[in-house]
Amino acid sequence: MKIGCPTEIKPQEFRVGMTPDAAREAVLRGHEVVIQQGAGLGAGFTDEDYAAAGAVILDTAEEIFATADMIVKVKEPQAVERKMLRENQLLFTYLHLAPDPEQTKDLLESGCTAIAYETVTDDRGGLPLLAPMSEVAGRLAPQVGSWTLQKANGGRGVLMGGVPGVAPAKVVVIGGGVVGTHAAKIAAGMGADVTILDRSLTRLKYLDDVFGRTFKNQYSTAGATAELVREADMVIGAVLVPGAAAPKLVSRAQLSEMKPGAVLVDVAIDQGGCFETSKATTHADPIYEVDGIMHYCVANMPGAVARTSTQALGNATMPFMLNLANKGWRQACEDDPHLLNGLNVHAGQLTYYAVGEALGIDVLSPKLALKQ
């Protein structure tokens, strides 16, 4: 198969769909890889790295789209990219179609077959192609939060680990899933006094068994949250209610009860945010202040560490990408129901029920799509 990887063109996106390692794995299996000139630069991979891996470098996105059987990307195709997609071409990338009727319409019109990273599943009920980005965002949260806590950035001027004789920062993590667990691990590793809150007793038991005394955990009620938030130097919002906007767990009124210069890091901002005063920010201007409390609300946190994120995403997508290339999408999806769950669009028809419901479009069963 001819696999193509264009340069990402969405603003502030520095990741790339294929690492040189992934390109090499594909080439070793007899596939051809074409990559747009400069595509990996944002993540620290040069054209020479790709050429050494056996990929062919092409100048423009037009050439990549015109020649490749499968397009591997990171972000959903932008309008100009969607115009270049064609019938029978396979697209493997993040799509997030439910809130995006325009993209959905264009993909349907293109006649392509599109497999969305975010709906591929695994045996444990997880989302294996979303999890690496949650791991990155979770681990980044205490790092950006501790920077924001510094006096010059508007914070309280508290050091995460304290020093002998001075207490460490108090960090509260709301939501103990992938983001929250990784955030708590790093904050505890920096020496902070960390408490994680979650609504799932099963999850709290797991955290208690696995992490012991590394950080505390508590059942998430409005009362417990309010008490911990009042005392916190940093609060990290990491909740997710699947399919719904994030619940607002800290109100504006509560800010006045917090310590001046305390920091809120709202990782759940991509689902609307879990603090009433959160509004999405960018890496160019990531923080702002409300009622004396600093907020960090960047919606695409993994972009800040594009190299790590590209490698983490590449490790997760590579086995699926290789299967798609080796077997063709039909056989690969037939053999792996989790990959079939990723099928969102095929030959002008929507094949993912939740997107159909959100957009009011009829859906073709993915199993029937395999037969077409």
Ligand X SMILES: NC(=O)c1ccc[n+]([C@@H]2O[C@H](COP(=O)([O-])OP(=O)(O)OC[C@H]3O[C@@H](n4cnc5c(N)ncnc54)[C@H](O)[C@@H]3O)[C@@H](O)[C@H]2O)c1
Binding site for ligand X (CB under 6 A): 133-134, 137, 174-180, 197-200, 203, 220, 238-241, 246-247, 249, 267-271, 299-302
The residue of the chain with the least Cβ separation from ligand X equals 177
Report how far residue 64's alpha carbon sits from residue 225's, in angstroms, rounded to the nearest whole number: 51
3-state DSSP assignment of residue 190: coil
For residue 196, give every residue at least 6 positions away whose Cβ sits within 8 Å of its Cβ, in sequence order, or none. Answer: 172, 173, 176, 180, 181, 184, 207, 215, 216, 217, 218
DSSP assigned state of 75: S
Residue with tokens 């890496």: 283
Tokens standing for 170?
């108090």
Residue with tokens 């009620």: 221
Rank residues 166 and 201 by Cβ distance to ligand X and give the closer one: 201
Rank residues 37 and 218 by Cβ distance to ligand X and give the closer one: 218
Out of 21, 49, 69, 96, pick the active-site residue. 96
Q: Tell the smallest beta-carbon distance from residue 160 to ligand X (Å).
A: 20
Q: Tell the smallest beta-carbon distance from residue 53 to ligand X (Å).
A: 28
Q: In sequence order, what DSSP letters do the residues of 311-340 get, joined into one string? A: HHHHHHHHHHHHHHHHH-HHHHHHH-HHHH
Rank residues 167 and 241 by Cβ distance to ligand X and give the closer one: 241
Q: Tell the smallest beta-carbon distance from residue 157 to ligand X (Å).
A: 25
Rank residues 54 and 177 by Cβ distance to ligand X and give the closer one: 177
Q: Tell the smallest beta-carbon distance from residue 174 to ligand X (Å).
A: 5
Residue 182 is a catalytic residue? no
Phi-psi region of 109 (alpha: psi -120 to 50; beta: other; left: phi over 0): alpha
Rank residues 29 and 279 by Cβ distance to ligand X and give the closer one: 279
User: What b-and-e string marks burial along 118-128, b requiring 16 or more CB atoms within 10 Å of the CB?
Assistant: bbbbeeeeebb
Q: Any alpha helices (H) in the chain, and if so which ranges?
A: 20-28, 47-52, 61-67, 79-84, 101-110, 131-148, 178-189, 201-211, 222-231, 252-255, 306-327, 329-335, 337-340, 353-359, 366-371
Rank residues 36 and 341 by Cβ distance to ligand X and give the closer one: 341
Residue 96 is a catalytic residue? yes
Out of 182, 270, 336, 346, pick the active-site residue. 270
Q: Tell the smallest beta-carbon distance from residue 133 to ligand X (Å).
A: 5
Q: Tell the smallest beta-carbon distance from residue 362 to ligand X (Å).
A: 28
Residues belonging to the active site: 96, 270
